[in-house]
Amino acid sequence: MKQISRREFLHFAGGVTFLALAPNGQGLFAATEADARLPLFTVLPYIQPGSASKLKENDDTLVVAWQTEDAAADFTVAYGLSKKYGQIAVPIQGARAIGDAAVSGDAALKRRNYNAALTGLKLGRKYYYQVQGKGKVIAEGYATTRQPRGRKIRFVAFGDNSNGDVSDHRIAYQAYVAKPDFVMNTGDNVYQSGLDREYAKFFFPIYDATTAGPELGAPLLRSVPFYTVLANHDVTGRDAIGREAGDFTKHSDALAYYTAMHLPMNGPAQPADSTPTVCADPAVLAQFQACAGDRFPRMANYSFDNGDAHFLCLDANAYVDPTSPALQAWIEQDLADTDAHWKFVVYHQPAFNVGQEHYKEQHMRALSPIFEKHGVDIVLNGHEHTYQRTMPIQFEPTDLTNASHTATRDRIVPGKLTIDREFDGKEKTLPRGIIHVTTGAGGNALYEPEFTDSPDRWVFTDGPENHFVSKFYSREHSLSVIEIDGRALTLRQINEFGKEIDRIRVTKA
Ligand SMILES: [Fe+2]
């Protein structure tokens, strides 16, 4: 396994320090000087991509966000192209309750979220930031904006991760070792219910650990933007008609996706199938909405570019009807409107996989014709806690009835599958069709490890037309490391111990 030298560590972590904060037990960080009168920090400052979608010089964004106990304090963020900083951003803040709404005392427990938007940024440049509070420097670090067209990029992708297992830490460490420009999470980022307190416990301490190590996690989030998509574990309640829903009646801190994340804001302002909510106390929902601002419900779908690639990120939860004309019109426009060489689509529930658990959740197959029409190269998914890579495939649905049934998980979509069996990712690198990559082995308990060595089991229903999976690996956890250099792409699957378990090269004519 490749170890990181101290010099590399300091270089990549940017020497990011939390100068005026020290661990205070139970995931809290306190000011080191008694007179600083700063609230306890529950989440240390972290980087998010912010609202920008298309690549525009002098118009890129980053967000510096953090969370404290609910006590007032004045913070500012200084930033700039050098440690002279020069620009100041004043954070927006919003408090919301955490804990179980039904448990006495929990509802009074609040957390205050801060986010400072750094705007008007140049592309492909390193920006330094410094969080200041009550005249003290709390933290300083750096992050790099998105690369312009023509520049190489490298990113990591994984899903189904943060649940407290040691494997989460290993994957976070491998992600860090890969030195990515950004992380693309494929959903089920936080277990069990997408709650704020689960983010504070299982996500931030691992993906923004102070020290990098296979069993410690890594200091990623303080300098690397992290994208994710909505998934079923973000919405574990049920609404009155049986759909998955953010359940505020049970948990005051449901749907933390919309308050912890700051992702591009170019999706439909009111999605055709918005994330449903259940809430007995309107005050709790109002707090959430004030904290999320216009990110809820808009941030369910978004797209962005980086280097020569375009990424379309979609909510594929059970309440979404992918045959919706409004959703399809937005997707068509988004994909038609980019001149990127490479097009990725990212959503959680895989349309094409051969696992036993989620095979029938095929509703996103309804979008295959649109994706093919616009030259989508790779679809990234999670949900199945395995690694599965399909052959390049084209799919023509013949009956969309089940795809539009939103309150069920039995959504088989029949149709005609055309499989490119010549592509091998080594000699034959020009695919005819879309490669679907399920990379849901990011930390939670693996499914079907015994399939790894039995290619005859890489099929759900027998028949040659159903043999579309080229590689299935589930012996250990893993993540995808994807590099794009002009008209060539390399996808490597790396296991939790740093070993390469799959590699393909994809090229364009
Ligand atoms: Fe899932």
Q: Give the model's pLDDT for residue 152.
A: 98
Compute, in angstroms, the gap from residue 386 CA to the centroid of ligand 1.
Answer: 11
Residue 279 sits at φ, ψ, to 5 deg, of -155, 120
Residue labelled with tokens 């440690």: 83
Residue 128 sits at φ, ψ, to 5 deg, of -95, 145
Compute, in angstroms, the gap from residue 257 CA to the centroid of ligand 1.
Answer: 14
d(CA 227, CA 186): 9
Compute, in angstroms, the gap from residue 90 CA to the centroid of ligand 1.
Answer: 36
Compute, in angstroms, the gap from residue 298 CA to the centroid of ligand 1.
Answer: 21
Compute, in angstroms, the gap from residue 187 CA to the centroid of ligand 1.
Answer: 7
Compute, in angstroms, the gap from residue 259 CA to the centroid of ligand 1.
Answer: 20
Of these ranges, 5-9, 23-27, 346-350, the one predicted with the greatest mean pLDDT is 346-350
Mean pLDDT, to the nearest integer, of 65-74? 91
Compute, in angstroms, the gap from residue 231 CA to the centroid of ligand 1.
Answer: 6
Write out the residues surrounding ion ligand 1, Cβ under 5 A: 188, 232, 383
Compute, in angstroms, the gap from residue 260 CA to the centroid of ligand 1.
Answer: 19
Q: Give the model's pLDDT for residue 107.
A: 64
Compute, in angstroms, the gap from residue 46 CA to the centroid of ligand 1.
Answer: 25
- When pLDDT is cut at 50, 70 and 90, the band that residue 1 belongs to is very low
Compute, in angstroms, the gap from residue 218 CA to the centroid of ligand 1.
Answer: 24
Q: Give the model's pLDDT for residue 27.
A: 65
β-strand pairing of 244-247 with 92-97: unpaired
Among the four given CATH numbers 3.90.1150.10, 3.40.50.20, 3.40.50.620, 3.60.21.10, the one describing domain 6-19+154-507 = 3.60.21.10
pLDDT over 90 at 38, yes or no: no
Compute, in angstroms, the gap from residue 324 CA to the centroid of ligand 1.
Answer: 22
Q: In residues, how long is the chain? A: 509
pLDDT in tens, 296-342: 999 999 999 999 999 999 999 999 999 999 999 999 999 999 999 99
Q: Burial code of 33-62, b = ≥16 C-beta within 10 A, e = fewer?
A: eeebebbebbbbbbbbbbbbbbbeeeebbb
Compute, in angstroms, the gap from residue 160 CA to the centroid of ligand 1.
Answer: 7
Contact status, residue 321 vs residue 406, Cβ threshold 8 Å:
yes
pLDDT in tens, 175-195: 999 999 999 999 999 999 999
pLDDT over 60 at 234, yes or no: yes
β-strand pairing of 302-306 with 277-278: unpaired
| Whole-number average pLDDT of the chain | 92
Q: What is the pTM of this model?
A: 0.95
Mean pLDDT, to the nearest integer, of 270-294? 94
Compute, in angstroms, the gap from residue 191 CA to the centroid of ligand 1.
Answer: 10
Single-letter residue type at 314? L
Compute, in angstroms, the gap from residue 349 CA to the centroid of ligand 1.
Answer: 7
Q: Give the model's pLDDT for residue 15.
A: 41
Compute, in angstroms, the gap from residue 383 CA to the centroid of ligand 1.
Answer: 4
Compute, in angstroms, the gap from residue 307 CA to the centroid of ligand 1.
Answer: 29
pLDDT over 70 at 464, yes or no: no
Residue 23 structure tokens: 């661990």
Of 78-87, 203-212, 360-369, 401-410, least confident by mean pLDDT is 401-410
Mean pLDDT, to the nearest integer, of 425-447? 98
What is the CB neighbour count within 10 angstroms for residue 422? 12
d(CA 390, CA 461): 15
pLDDT over 80 at 18, yes or no: no
Q: Taking the CA atoms of the chain, what radius of gyration do you get in angstroms?
A: 22
Compute, in angstroms, the gap from residue 367 CA to the centroid of ligand 1.
Answer: 19
Residue 231 structure tokens: 């998934």
Compute, in angstroms, the gap from residue 192 CA to the centroid of ligand 1.
Answer: 10
Mean pLDDT, to the nearest integer, of 32-54? 86
Contact status, residue 165 vs residue 201, Cβ threshold 8 Å:
no
For residue 112, list its beta bridge partners: 68, 95
- When pLDDT is cut at 50, 70 and 90, the band that residue 17 belongs to is low
Alpha-carbon distance values, 488 to 18, 181, 309, 319, 342 (Å): 39, 17, 11, 37, 9
Name every residue whose Cβ is closer than 8 Å to that of residue 343 and which is 6 or more positions away in sequence. Answer: 309, 310, 312, 335, 374, 375, 376, 377
Single-letter residue type at 279? C
Residue 415 structure tokens: 């149709």
d(CA 213, CA 220): 12
